[in-house]
Amino acid sequence: MILDSLSSADQYAPLHSRFAAAFEFLRRPGLEMLAPGRFPIQGDDLFVIISKSRGRCRAEAKLECHRKYIDIQFVIAGCDEMGWKPVTACRNSLAGYDSENDIQFFTDPADTWITTPAGSICIFFPDDAHAPLVSEGEIHKAVVKIAVLSAGR
């Protein structure tokens, strides 16, 4: 898991061949004007989901993990307090892994909570369970999904 500001994100570009394109998309003018929905950047290998939603309390937030995608969660407006725990420490799966939607939920409590204000990114890798969308207000965010392996491999 990485927490930083978008303005400092370029230092993480060497971690994955698609990170630079993801950061470029997040810096595009008018990002905050995009309607909620899914926007392709490089097909299914790199896309973004824009959302605006009311936050929930910690007790309502469930840890989740993904096996096929890395998440770069960028807070456009509001503040998202995200829970985190290593997947290897999660013991209570709510249901098995859903390969079609690339998600698994857990009922374990988060080990730590990360306050993520507007302008910040959280990068979650497949070994990071995370519980996003915790806030007392509305959260406007972009979640970039980056395939761990290219669909062409």
Q: What is the pLDDT of residues 5-58, one digit of tens each?
A: 999 999 999 999 999 999 999 999 999 999 999 999 999 999 999 999 999 999
Q: How far apart are CA 75 and CA 116, in angstroms?
A: 7
Find where tokens 């929930």 sit: 56
Average pLDDT, the chain: 95
Domain CATH for 103: 2.60.120.370
Q: How far apart are CA 50 and CA 34, in angstroms?
A: 7
Of 24-33, 51-60, 103-112, 144-153, where does mean pLDDT reach its minimum? 144-153
- The residue type at 75: V
**Does residue 128 register a pLDDT over 90?**
yes
- Quote the CA–CA distance of 138 and 132 in Å, as a whole number: 13
Task: Find tokens 């990071």 and name the residue.
Answer: 128
- At residue 79 the predicted structure's pLDDT band, cuts being 50, 70 and 90, is very high
pLDDT of residue 153: 42
pLDDT at 70 over 70: yes
Give the CA distances from residue 82 to residues 109, 112, 147, in Å, rounded to whole numbers and listed in that order: 12, 8, 22
| Domain span at 127 | 2-27+36-147
Flag whether 92 is in a domain.
yes
Tokens of 79: 């503040």
SS3 130: strand
pLDDT at 152 over 60: no
Is 152 within a domain? Answer: no
Query: Residue 95: its pLDDT value, please?
Result: 86
Which residues does residue 3 pair with via DSSP β-bridges, in sequence order?
Answer: 122
Number of domains in the chain: 1
